[in-house]
């Protein structure tokens, strides 16, 4: 599990992981590129292995937990 803090309007480019992971938003929020979801404080989402996604943080940035369901691996 990791805790991350990203600044306002920060962009995470499209990528995918070799494992499932769950994001739990603590503060702020984000919008996923493909319309998958708009998340705010207290929201969570499970992103399955090999699903390609990217997102942009909102005007407050975002503080969140990442809970990995396997060994960490990223592919751009």
Q: How far is CA 1 from CA 28, 55, 57, 70, 72, in A?
A: 19, 20, 20, 11, 10
Indicate the helix (H) or strand (E) that contains 30.
strand 21-32
The residue with greater pLDDT, 19 or 56, is 56
pLDDT digits (tens, 9 = 90+) for 32-72: 998 879 999 999 999 999 999 999 999 999 999 999 876 66
Confidence (pLDDT) at 36: 78
Confidence tier at 5 by pLDDT (50, 70, 90):
very high
| pTM, 2 dp | 0.85
Can you give the residue ranges of every domain in the chain? 8-25+35-75
For residue 76, pLDDT over 90 is answered with no
Over range 19-33, report the average pLDDT.
96
CA 68 to chain centre: 11
């Amino acid at each position: 599990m990791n805790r991350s803090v990203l600044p306002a309007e920060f962009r995470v480019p499209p990528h995918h992981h070799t494992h499932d992971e769950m994001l739990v938003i603590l503060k702020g929020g984000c919008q996923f590129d493909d319309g998958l979801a708009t998340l705010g404080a207290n929201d969570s989402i499970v992103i399955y292995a090999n699903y390609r996604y990217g997102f942009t943080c909102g005007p407050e940035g975002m503080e969140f937990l990442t809970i990995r369901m396997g060994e960490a691996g990223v592919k751009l």
